[in-house]
Chains A and B, each alone.
Chain A
Amino acid sequence: MARAHKYDVIVVGAGGAGMMAARYAAQNPGVSVAVISKLYPTRSHTGAAQGGVGAALGNVSEDHPEWHAFDTIKGGDYLTDQDVAEVFAHEVIEAVYELEHMGLPFSRTPEGRIAQRKFGGHTREFGKSAVERACYAADRTGHMILQTLYQQSIKDNVIFFNEFHVLDVILEDGVARGVIAYELATGELHTFHAKATIIATGGNGRMFKVTSNAHALTGDLMSILWRRGIPMEDPEFYQFHPTGLYKIGVLLTEGARGEGGILRNADGERFMERYAPTIKDLAPRDMVSRAMYLEIREGRGVGPDKDYILLDLTHIDAAIIEERLPDITEFARIYLGVDPIHEPVPVQATAHYAMGGVPTTIDTNVITDGKDTIVPGLYAAGEVACVSLHGANRLGTNSLGDLIVFGRRAGVEAAKYAASNDYGQLPAAEQDRAREELERIRAASGKERASHVRKHLQDTMMDNASVFRTSETLSSQIEILREIQERFLEVSVEDTGSQFNTELMEAVELGYLIDNAVQLVHAAHHRRESRGAHSREDYKERDDEAWLHHTLIYQDGNGVRLDTKPVTLGKYEPKPRVY
């Protein structure tokens, strides 16, 4: 295979955002598009999303995009950029219909319309009660989105480079010129020269011990762009989903609570009634995860070690469970040997979603500072990006909405840019940075295994930087990360081959993961307030006077540099967040 490629638009990542972007970019005649992914497209983690995609279709009860925008802003603890939420709540309606027109097999109402159910934080009339907004296909909505987009990409003859790991983004004179990628099958480096580059590579949940995220989610591009001088926005806001399967973290959709599921402590108490009297178990995820942690800390956890909570579905009609929640029912049966129809399921909070990421404008242009200075030719969408739709805490279902709305915008904008700009010059020896990193690890003779360093990273991040944080735990984690960075330099690999060297790639990915942890911990240490998913026990209140702004964090030599970016406010004044 040739190792030099040229496409007008390169998309990195083949999940929901990437394939949506490719589809829209390719609709422009004369614009060539290729997608690079380190997995086969249908392996992407969009496929693991379960519960639904929120859109105010009003198929089950009255709903309006204004209500959806408000819920998103309040759910984000007012760190959401309000212009983004408004655009999103309107465009996601059109985008859901478009998915249906692509053939997506949604579950249906008796009238034949797209079925909708309740989900955490989604309400009618600005918080009065829960509303059916999540458009779903049983509990495999993400699977259907991923399959449908892949199917359409076959129809549209989209070009894919599968099992190619991007190792560098070419930035020359502040302009993106493409990427360097490692072909897993051969071990060769390829140069992809592009006019416009779209980053859609998802999250970084593998920095934590217990996570719902796939092994592949190692925050590669959040690190690569950071090393290239691009800041990350709001990395301290990391979502823990309340209902991961005990110990293994596999996700059990919030749709289970949308269908009537209840969380109970060791006393059998429905404890969410105390924390969120109006919407109870359907409070936003940050609040439910914190409530679960507090119940466990106060001795009301379940089991011999009193360290889990029960998700109780036993009062729900078995037929409804089998029909609407078949996959999670199977997960509980297989992995825990528990049948949710007959007994409650042991759950614990699981690392789930990065609200922060590569900062972008509302049109998905990557920006380099707090004044919206764009990097020409560089776009980002989906979990890797921070457009800031989700603010300090994402509402359930808004990730899938984010993919399709901003994936589409990225495709449109990148194609527009590509159509009106020429290919820039590639720098000399453009592969050198990527090659040096590979050669360093390949030649290393240290005694560390990547897996041991990674485990230490995951264990300590879980202990010191997860649901609750203090100055003490975060300072200690900053120290631990310094040691981990040193240990990483001692990591060597046994496999020196060139074909399918997955060990080498795991080591490279560990380097990315460590950068992601550094971003998160420093930003969390810096932000001395509690907002959304960032909960500081030494600063328990939200402090709008001092902290109603986004964080930007830059790599600065061996350290970091922090800056701010204003929040775009709008109709909704920040108010105390009660449910």
Chain B
Amino acid sequence: MRINVKIKRFDPEADRRPYWAEYPLDVRPTDRVLDVLNQIKWEVDGSLSYRRSCAHGICGSDAMLINGVNRLACKLLVRDLGEIIAIEPIRGLTVLKDLIVDMEPFFDAYKAVLPYFVNDEPDPPRERLQSPEDREIFDDTTKCILCAACTTSCPVFWTNERYLGPAAIVNAHRFIFDSRDQGTEARMQVLNQANGLWRCRTAYNCTEACPRDIPVTRAIEEVKRELLWRRA
């Protein structure tokens, strides 16, 4: 099928500001948007720059704003988009080149919530026990691939880049609700700060943006409730 692809491009070594470039292309309806980008890079303009690796939605490299919605380019097919496809970099992070943004602030926010398992008791000789029910409570938030689709769809993050953002809170949730973990007190202190959890205005953009179907807003609400209970 014939499509028209518009890409917001920016080369820091040549352009003063981003501009839209158009690429009319023949593609198959079952092509991924990533295949479309590859087709442009490999056949039309080798300088088009974007991140990609696994190409099936597991590595989290290729989150972009596609027809106005944050999506992974490798997890979205042309047939689900129609004949005009507009692709921009995800919002709220500095654009470095074309669709590549500076991910460092995103990872800094992630690292701030102590996103790792804490248990200072001596390790048992075998595994720590955990019931399937206890394991299920935090199952959704273990799925995060740190693609930043949620955080960069959040209107609060757009206006306040120091807000931790949904991805960081999701990763705090993953440990707070793990029955084996003991790091919650320290984590709650980070989340309770001015640019922490309470900045969330429950816009639900994050939930809609998540390519892993994590109910992000619900997870954030669960963390808010947990924080309140612990203070009560």
A576 at interface by CB-CB < 8 Å = no
Asked if B23 CB lies within 8 Å of chain A CBs, one says no
Q: Does A493 contact B (CB under 8 A)?
A: yes
Task: List chain A residues, Cβ under 8 A from B67.
Answer: none
> What distance in Å separates the Cβ of A291 from its nearest Cβ neighbour in chain B?
25
Bound-state Cα–Cα, A248 to B54, Å: 12
B56 near A335 (CB under 8 angstroms)?
yes
Cα-based distance from A498 to B96 in the complex (angstroms): 12
Residue among A114, A152, A185, A495 making CB contact with B116, cutoff 8 Å: A152
Interface size on B, residues (CB 8 A): 62
Known: A103-B175, A113-B127, A155-B116. A500 touches B103 (CB 8 A): no
| A214-B54 CB under 8 A given contacts A105-B142, A151-B115, A154-B116 | yes
| A45, B127: Cα distance in complex, Å | 26
Residue among B58, B116, B119, B145 with the highest chain A CB neighbour number at 10 A:
B58
Surface stretch bound by B, among A94-102, A190-198, A276-284, A466-474:
A94-102
| B128 close to chain A: CB less than 8 A | yes
Contact between chains at B127 and A43 (CB < 8 Å) = no
Contact present for B58 and A143 (CB under 8 Å): yes
* B97 → A minimal CB distance (Å): 4
Given contacts A43-B53, A334-B77, contact A500 B59 (CB under 8 A): no
B137 to chain A, nearest CB (A): 11
C-alpha gap A335/B12 in the complex (Å): 35
Is B218 among interface residues, defined by CB-CB distance under 8 A?
no
Specify which chain B residues have a CB less than 8 angstroms from the CB of A565 in the assembled complex.
none
| Contact partners of B118 in chain A: CB under 8 A | 155
A215 touches B53 (CB 8 A): yes
| Interface: B75 (CB within 8 A) | yes
Q: Are A97 and B117 in contact, with the CB atoms below 8 A?
A: no
Can you name the residue of chain B whose Cβ is closest to the Cβ of A503? B46
A503 & B47 in contact (Cβ 8 Å cutoff):
yes
Please give me the residue from chain B that is nearest to A137 by CB atom: B142
Residue on A nearest B135 in the bound complex, by CB: A108
Residue among B46, B61, B75, B139 having the largest count of chain A Cβ atoms under 10 Å: B46
Q: Evaluate contact between A500 and B96: CB separation under 8 angstroms.
A: yes
Interface residue count for A (Cβ, 8 Å)? 58
Give the distance in Å from the alpha carbon of A155 to the alpha carbon of B181 in the complex. 14
Q: How far is the CA of A275 from the CA of B68 in the complex (A)?
A: 51
Stretch in B37-45, B152-160, B196-204 touching the partner: B37-45
Q: Nearest chain B CB to A118's CB is how many angstroms away?
A: 19
Is B129 close to A, CB under 8 A? yes
Pick from A42, A106, A108, A500: contact of B146, CB below 8 A: A42
Q: Is the CB of B55 within 8 A of A214?
A: yes
A40 touches B127 (CB 8 A): no
Give the complex CA separation of A148 and B178 in angstroms: 13
B192 contacts chain A at the CB level, 8 A cutoff? no
Check if B115 sits within 8 Å of A497, measured CB to CB.
no
> Taking CB as reference atom, which chain A residue is nearest B132?
A108
Which chain A residues numbered 502 to 534 have a C-beta less than 8 Å away from chain B? 502-503
For B75, the chain A residues whose CB sits under 8 A away are 334
Q: Known: A148-B117, A155-B116, A503-B41. Is A48-B59 also a contact (CB below 8 A)?
A: yes
* Shortest Cβ gap from A20 to chain B (Å): 15
Inter-chain CA distance A500–B116, complex, in Å, is: 31
Whether A105 contacts B56 by the Cβ 8 Å rule is no
Determine whether B180 belongs to the interface, using a CB cutoff of 8 Å to chain A.
yes
B135 touches A331 (CB 8 A): no
Q: Does B224 contact A (CB under 8 A)?
A: no
| Residue among B55, B61, B127, B129 with the highest chain A CB neighbour number at 10 A | B127
| A27, CB-defined interface residue at 8 Å | no
Q: Is B126 at the interface (CB under 8 A from chain A)?
A: yes
B60 within 8 A of A: yes
| A100 touching B96 in the complex, CB below 8 Å, given contacts A45-B54, A148-B117 | no
A250: interface (CB < 8 Å): yes
Residues of A within 8 A of B60 (CB): 42-43
Is B143 located at the chain interface by the 8 A CB criterion?
A: yes
Give A379 to B131 CA distance when docked, in angstroms. Answer: 40
Task: Tell me which residues from 372 to 389 in chain A have a Cβ below 8 Å from any Cβ of chain B.
Answer: none
Q: How far is the CA of A155 from the CA of B111 in the complex (A)?
A: 9
A22 within 8 A of B: no
B138 proximal to A (CB < 8 A): yes
Across the interface, do B111 and A154 meet the contact criterion of CB distance under 8 Å?
A: yes
Given contacts A40-B103, A42-B146, contact A500 B127 (CB under 8 A): no
User: A61 an interface residue at 8 Å Cβ cutoff?
Assistant: no
B49 at the interface (CB under 8 A from A): yes
Inter-chain CA distance A345–B215, complex, in Å, is 28
Measured CB to CB, the closest approach of chain B to A170, in angstroms, equals 27
Q: Does B6 reach chain A (CB closer than 8 Å)? A: no
> B46 to A493, Cβ gap below 8 A?
yes
Q: Are A48 and B56 in contact (CB under 8 A)?
A: yes
Whether a CB of chain A sits under 8 angstroms from the CB of B187 is no
Residues of B within 8 A of A248 (CB): 56
Question: CB-defined interface of A83-116 with B at 8 Å, one 1/0 digit per residue?
Answer: 0000000000000011011110111111111100
A449-B145 in contact given A151-B116, A499-B96, A499-B97 (Cβ < 8 Å): no
CB distance from B76 to the nearest CB of A (A): 8
Report the minimum CB–CB distance from A135 to chain B (whole Å).
9
25 contacts between A and B (CB under 8 A): A40-B107, A43-B53, A43-B54, A43-B61, A45-B54, A47-B54, A48-B59, A97-B127, A103-B117, A105-B135, A110-B131, A112-B131, A113-B127, A140-B143, A148-B117, A155-B114, A185-B96, A214-B53, A214-B55, A250-B55, A449-B42, A451-B43, A497-B13, A497-B14, A498-B13
**Contact surface of A with B, Cβ cutoff 8 Å:** 39-40, 42-45, 47-48, 57, 97-98, 100-103, 105-114, 137, 140, 143-144, 147-148, 151-152, 154-155, 185, 214-216, 248, 250, 327, 331, 334-335, 449, 451-452, 493-495, 497-503
Contacts A101-B127, A103-B178, A449-B46 supplied; 13 other A-B pairs, CB < 8 Å: A40-B103, A43-B61, A97-B125, A103-B117, A103-B175, A109-B132, A143-B145, A151-B117, A154-B116, A335-B56, A495-B47, A497-B11, A500-B100
Across the A-B interface, the 7 shortest Cβ-Cβ residue pairs = A103-B117, A451-B42, A112-B129, A495-B47, A151-B116, A494-B46, A503-B46
